[in-house]
Structures are given as C-alpha cells and as structure tokens.
C-alpha cells in the first residue's frame, strides 16, 4: 500500500526528532516483542533458578542432617552467585517489560544489555563449575544459542544487533581471561580458540537473522503507510473493509482509518480508473464538508495502490448502540429520544447536501464521551453514501456492494426492492428500526437469513414496540416510530428535520439530563472505540 493518492493535502513531513525502533516497526509487532521478551526473561528465571534452588536445598538438608555436601555439589557454590544475579536480572527485566510507559527504544536497548549480561553469567559459571567438577574445560557453552535467539525474539537494526551479538560472543574469552588471571582455572590457547570461534559463527547467524526479521518488519510497516498515516492496530472488519487505529506522522492525535475494498468482479479486484478516483474525490469532499458535530469528523482520504479507498477519521471513546443494548439492555424512552435526536441532526445536514446515508444501524451510531459532553452521538460509516444530486448519471460502483446496499435488519422496503430512486426517507425508516432496537433490544422483524429480513420489511406490518418489552414507552413515541416504519416513503416523516421536531414534542416521565448521562458513564467507563 505504499503508493497512494492523497486527495487532501497533508502537512509537510519533517524530520522526526527521535524515530527509535518503533518508527520502523509496526506497533502491534513491537507489542508482541514486548511479550516475547517477558517470556524469555521468565524462562531464564526458571533456568537459573532451578540450579540455585537445587543447591540451596541440598545445602539446607546437609546442614540439618550434619552431613557434608557431596563434592560435586560443593564445588559449584561460587557459581551460585552468578545464578542468583541472573535470576534477579531476569526477574527485573520481566517486571520492566510489562510497563507500557517504557519506550520501545529504551526497552530494546535494555534487552540487548540483558543479552550480554546473561551470556557473561553463562560463560563464567559454565567454565568455572565444569572445571571444578571435571578438571577440564567444556568444548562449548549455551552462549551461541542465546546469541542466535535474541534477534528472533527482539528484532532490531541489523548493525545494532550485530554489535550486541559480538559483545555477547566476547563474554566467553573475557570469562576465561578473568578466571585465568585470578588463578581459578588454567587456560591454554586452544581453550581461547574454542571459546571464540563458536560464538563468532553464532554472531554471523544472528546478523543474518536480524536482517531478515527486521526487513520483514519494515516491509509490514511500509505496507501500513497510508498518506500521512501509519496503521497501528486493526479495530474491526466488515463486508466492505476494515477499520484501523492509526497515528499521524506529525500530529499526536490518533485517528481511525476506514479501508474500503475495491469492487470485485469474478472474485478479482478491478483496477482503479481516473474516473473512479474523480468520483471518490467528489464524494469524499462532500462528506468532508459536513459540519454537524454529530457526524464523524473526516481528516483525510485517499487511494492505496491495491485499489482500496480510505478515510482517516477521528478516533472516538465509547461504544456503538448495538454494543450498548447487547451489553446493558434496552434504554429508557428518554435516552432513546436523546440518541435519535442527535442522529437526526447529522442526517438533516446530509439531506440538505443531497446525501443519503443508506446504512443507518446501531453499529453506525456511536455513543461517546466527547470533551465535557456525555452520551454524545457520532454517526459513522457513510461508506455507501448516495448522492441524490447526480442528475441520473450512471457511474461504476466504487465499493464492493451486493445488489442491495444496506443492512438487512435495518433496510427500508424501497432499498430491499433495489429502487434506484432511494432518498432520505430510507434513512428515516432505518431510524425507526434503530429506535425499535434501543427500546426493545430486538430487531423489528425476526428472521433466519437476510432474504427473510428483506421480505418482512417489504410485506410484514411491524408489531408495536410496547408489545415486545416491559419498559414503558410513551404512546407518542411509539406512534412516531411506527410512522417511520411505514412501507410507503410518503407515509413517513419526510425529512430528518421533520422527525427531529416530532421527537421534540414527545413528553417523557423523566428527561434524560447531563447529570444522568454523566452518572451512567461514571458507572460504565469505556475504552476507545
């Protein structure tokens, strides 16, 4: 996706002050590395701890029984200090790696220092204890394995990884020298050669492994470049595309990226033509011009080289009304009115600009904390928006759609029949379906498949919401929702503004106030959506 067409000019990209490791590796990949580093540290805690526990246990039993420790155990007593140091260092790294406040670059550097320290402990304890037990030096240690392992667990720039691998490889000769000059063990030239060649070969393999892993990581990072944005984490996937958490290269504020897959013909994506790009630009410019505070804010848009169109939007904190009802049950009538009024505010402006959403459903109505406001609604996903100002000109589809656009449980009868003259009254019908869902926790019609849903919307009169819930529903609100669900567009409220005015006239037993909304959100804190 590295080649792209950005249709809104981004700010000029300057030189980043401190790119670090995470600037060239995807954030979610580095998060995996963080977990792997903790796993490795935990492994070494156990590996070094077992020998330490066995020695301590044997010493304790010998002290209680008054018998001396076996000679082969006693001679390893000094190397247990190295085991203890390795356990403490490994436990400390495990604890530090869990702290998300530690920057990726700092954690990476700490991991490389840990690699060298562990290799030194392995070298000196192995040579010392093996000589004391067998009166000769081992042909090899575990240092080469550790040197090769680290680039696979902790990917980084190949040169940096090579430097760390060479320092780690040198711990063998350094340990032998230290033991020799302190007269702990005698060391000849052959021992130095054996202690050097294996780790040096391992350092070469480590460099090759680092080059491959780091290169793959950079390719993934580059593939996630869209205009001025870097894709960080996939938040969701639907029939038409994916939604990603993203960050801007220059700005601190995060964003949500909606990728819309290219149209498919016989299972193969079709090339993006200049005409399609021009149409996408016109439609995206129309969406970007919407200024209702209840319409999700569009930052940028463009075309990736795989034919995917993308929107960069504000990242919101909260949950959509589908999750709201599924998790917490139907909402009181006054809260439903509060939500529907804000949806109407968004759609009223869209109508004025000749835009029909065509996919109003609970999943596209996002309830959030927005600054100091609570229960603030944002209408999402104008992904299959239709302009009613097209003058009847027929143009190729930009997105992968089925014959019928929309969601079967919330689709207007005229949409279900494939009517090409659909207007804003289809969105009014969908608002009626959403209101029904908010009040009852049920779809207007129960069906086993999409086609049955469509046939019900076309032919079946809806049951009154009050017959499908025990919660009180004001008769005026019930009548208004049933009018929204009329089969004929002419029998519904004729615009979002008209529906908004009708909602304002509904009287409830208790209003939904800012204090009630704030109290609800305090009781049910949400993360990012």
Cβ-count burial 351-388 (b if 16+ within 10 Å, e if not): beeebbbbbbbbbbbbbbbbeeebbbbbbbbbbbbbee
Cβ-count burial 254-279 (b if 16+ within 10 Å, e if not): ebbbbbbbbbeeeeeeeebeeebbeb
| Strand bridging mode 241-248 / 298-304 | unpaired
The residues annotated as belonging to the active site are 359
Residue in the block written with tokens 């016109």: 282
Which 3 state secondary structure label does DSSP give 260? strand
C-beta neighbour count of 81 within 10 angstroms: 12
| H/E stretch holding 241 | strand 241-248
Assess contact for 416 and 381: CB atoms under 8 A: no
Write the DSSP assignment of 300-353 as a string of letters: EEEEETTS-EEEEEE--BEEEHHHHHHHH-PPPHHHHHHHHHHHHHHHHHHHHT
Q: Which two tokens stand for residue 57?
A: 């246990």
Say how far apart CA 430 and CA 409 lie, in whole Å: 9
């Amino acid at each position: 996706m590295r080649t792209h067409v950005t249709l809104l000019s981004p700010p000029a990209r300057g030189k980043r002050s401190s790119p670090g490791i995470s600037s060239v590796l995807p954030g979610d990949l580095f998060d995996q590395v963080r977990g792997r580093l903790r796993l490795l540290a935990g492994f070494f805690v156990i590996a070094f701890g077992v020998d330490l526990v066995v020695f301590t246990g044997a010493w304790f039993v010998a002290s209680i029984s008054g018998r001396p420790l076996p000679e082969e155990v006693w001679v390893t007593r000094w190397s247990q200090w190295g085991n203890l140091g390795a356990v403490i260092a490994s436990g400390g790294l495990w604890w530090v790696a869990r702290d998300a406040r530690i920057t990726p670059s700092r954690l990476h550097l700490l991991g490389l220092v840990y690699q060298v320290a562990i290799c030194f402990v392995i070298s000196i304890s192995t040579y010392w204890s093996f000589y004391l037990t067998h009166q000769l030096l081992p042909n090899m240690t575990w240092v080469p394995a550790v040197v090769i392992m680290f680039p696979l667990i902790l990917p980084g720039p190949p040169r940096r990884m090579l430097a760390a691998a060479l320092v780690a490889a040198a711990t063998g000769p350094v340990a032998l020298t230290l033991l020799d000059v302190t007269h702990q063990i005698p060391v000849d030239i052959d021992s130095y050669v054996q202690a050097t060649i294996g780790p040096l070969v391992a350092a070469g393999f480590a460099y090759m492994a680092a080059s491959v892993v780091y290169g793959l990581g950079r390719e993934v990072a580059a593939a996630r470049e869209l205009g001025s944005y870097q894709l960080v984490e996939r938040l969701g996937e639907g029939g038409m595309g994916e939604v990603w958490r993203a960050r801007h290269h220059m700005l601190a504020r995060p964003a949500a990226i909606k990728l819309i897959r290219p149209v498919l013909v016989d299972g193969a994506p079709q090339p993006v033509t200049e005409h399609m790009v021009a149409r996408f630009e016109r439609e995206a410019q129309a969406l970007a011009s919407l200024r209702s505070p209840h319409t999700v804010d569009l930052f940028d848009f463009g075309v990736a080289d795989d034919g995917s169109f993308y929107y960069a939007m504000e990242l919101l904190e909260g949950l959509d009304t589908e999750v709201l009802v599924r998790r917490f049950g139907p909402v009181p009538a006054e809260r439903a009115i509060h939500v529907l009024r804000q949806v109407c505010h968004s759609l009223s402006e869209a109508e004025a600009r000749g835009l029909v959403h065509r996919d109003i459903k609970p999943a596209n109505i996002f309830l959030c904390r927005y600054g100091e406001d609570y229960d603030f609604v944002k209408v999402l996903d104008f992904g299959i928006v239709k302009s009613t100002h097209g003058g009847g000109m027929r143009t190729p589809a930009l997105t992968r759609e089925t014959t019928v656009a929309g969601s079967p449980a919330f689709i207007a009868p005229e949409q279900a029949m494939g009517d090409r003259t659909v207007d804003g009254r289809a969105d009014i019908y969908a608002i009626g379906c959403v209101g029904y869902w908010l009040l009852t926790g049920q779809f207007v019609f129960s069906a086993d498949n999409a086609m049955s849903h469509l046939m019900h919307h076309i032919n079946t009169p809806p049951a009154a919401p009050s017959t499908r819930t025990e919660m009180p529903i004001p008769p005026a609100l019930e009548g208004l929702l049933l009018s929204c669900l009329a089969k004929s567009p002419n029998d519904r409220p004729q615009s979002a503004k008209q529906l908004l005015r009708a909602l304002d006239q509904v009287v409830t037993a208790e209003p939904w106030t800012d204090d009630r909304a704030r109290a609800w959100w305090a009781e049910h804190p949400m993360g990012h959506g």
